[in-house]
Amino acid sequence: MSDQALYGLWLLAALLCGCAANPPLPATPAVPGAWEHPAAGSGAQWPGAEWYHGFGSDELDSLVAAAAANNLDLAAAEARIRQADARARAAGAAILPQVDVGANAMQVSGRSRDVSARETDSAALLSASYEVDFWGRNRAIARSAQAAAEANRADRNTVALTALAGVADTYFEVLSLRERLALAHSNLDTTRDVLKAIEARADAGVASPLELAQQRAAVASAELQIPQLAQQEMQARGALALLLGRAPEGFDVTGQKLDALREPALGPGLPSELLTRRPDLIAAEARLEAAHADLAAARAALFPTITLTGSGGLQNPGFQAVLTTLPGAGHSVSIGASVVQTIFDRGRRRALGTEAQAREQELVANYRAAILASLLDVETALSALGQLDLQQRAQNENVTQSERALEGAQLRYHEGSADYLALLESQRALYAAREQMSRYRLARLEAWVGLCKALGGGWQAAAPDKEPRRP
């Protein structure tokens, strides 16, 4: 066979090996063309990076800013980014030659019979080594590290979105508990006023001992609600302090009610846009790209490694060998190349390739699962807001009619035309209706926060030459 034919076969083998070392990236899974539930609000749009401004609370805005600056989970995520960036730089360094400089000195002396000799050898050399990345292994390792760094950046944004949404949810919970605590105090005042009226009627011989005992039990029950709600409010306030990266001692917020808050106007666009607006999906995709690069590196490891080495400088003697030595200091240059191919490792490298392929398949499944979970998050938030809209009229009507019922029951009872049980039931119904309304307001605000979070909280995947926007 001619030299040209051998060269052609070698080149064909190299091309085939290069294809084997760089498998195609799995395709992105399909997403639905539209949402099942309608978008919330009129003129709704994707949330912005400062989505929390939509609730109209300066205090919430300041709390979110404090959490963005001091949250400890966020600080840890920032440190993980720096670690991943350092690993990416270290992996990319293998693509370029390694250059070292060194100096050494050695004195050798010996004696044989009547002959003695002494020699001082020294050298100052600049050396370089370079692994020819013929199969793309080093480039694949660098791509894997870069994708892992991108995944850590997206993870940081996921942590930020979770922390800031947690601040909003916890702040709303604090206000709701304070609102319910005020209702509990109001209910206690009402039951005490009724108790005074019943005691007066009992002194006049009009009210029965049973009515008096029932109302005293109602007062005691109202008193029990207050410390329970106060404890829950303290726990929620402490949880909010931790989200801000500070101790709970001495921490407080000024808000008292949910009434002053407004609901933001936002909604989703097409489901396909979600793939570029959720940092957790970007992280899952980046990890899939890293696994894909790891698979390429594992396949490239099956082929020979080619290393070029060279050194040059001054040394004394200028050339030293067993048979020929050039005495005196002089220039020294050496150049070498090596090719290494493992022929037996008991299948270790192939096993590593199989592991990398299975890892990629795992992350493909994880990526698809993350997409489905993100779609469910949005659908759940939209459905929750829709169901809460249907409840709004009934919630308002429940409170209004309960207030009228209590006013009528009190008037009839004082006039002696109604029994005590009707009055007691009206009291309980009004307190339950007002507390249910407070819970309803909290549920609406939490549903809006959930929708903001499900839509990515204003985060967007950046262009290749730009940093991602951070919430």
pLDDT tens for each residue of 415-458: 766 677 777 788 888 888 989 999 999 999 999 999 999 998 88
The per-residue pLDDT for 75 is 93
The H-assigned helical ranges of 346-419 are 348-415
Sorted by where each starts, the structural domains of the chain and their CATH numbers stand as 18-97+136-302+348-454 (1.20.1600.10)
Handedness of CA 372, 374, 379, 381 (dihedral sign): positive
Residue 220, pLDDT > 90, answer yes
- Over residues 359-395, the pLDDT tens digits come to 888 888 889 989 999 999 999 999 998 899 899 999 9
CB crowding 196-233: b at 16 or more within 10 Å, else e = ebbeebeeeeebeeebbeebeebbeebeebeeebeebb
Question: For the residues 235-241, what does the mean pLDDT come to?
Answer: 95
For the chain, the average pLDDT equals 83
The per-residue pLDDT for 117 is 73
- Over residues 314-368, the pLDDT tens digits come to 877 766 655 556 566 667 788 888 888 888 878 888 888 888 888 888 888 889 9
The per-residue pLDDT for 231 is 96
Question: For the residues 165-184, what does the mean pLDDT come to?
Answer: 94
3 state SS of 326: strand
Residue 316's φ and ψ, nearest 5 degrees, are -130, 120
| Pick from 198, 193, 223, 226: nearest CA to 213 | 198
The per-residue pLDDT for 34 is 80
* Count of beta carbons in the 10 Å neighbourhood of residue 307: 13
pTM listed for this prediction: 0.81
Question: For the residues 199-226, what does the mean pLDDT come to?
Answer: 86
- Over residues 300-314, the pLDDT tens digits come to 888 888 888 888 878
The per-residue pLDDT for 328 is 63
The pLDDT confidence band at residue 6, using thresholds 50, 70 and 90, is very low
Angle in degrees, CA 39, 40, 46, rounded to 5: 70
The per-residue pLDDT for 228 is 94
The pLDDT confidence band at residue 49, using thresholds 50, 70 and 90, is confident
The pLDDT confidence band at residue 403, using thresholds 50, 70 and 90, is confident
**Residues 39/389, Cβ–Cβ less than 8 Å:** no
The per-residue pLDDT for 325 is 62
The per-residue pLDDT for 31 is 78
The per-residue pLDDT for 113 is 74
**Residues 299/21, Cβ–Cβ less than 8 Å:** yes
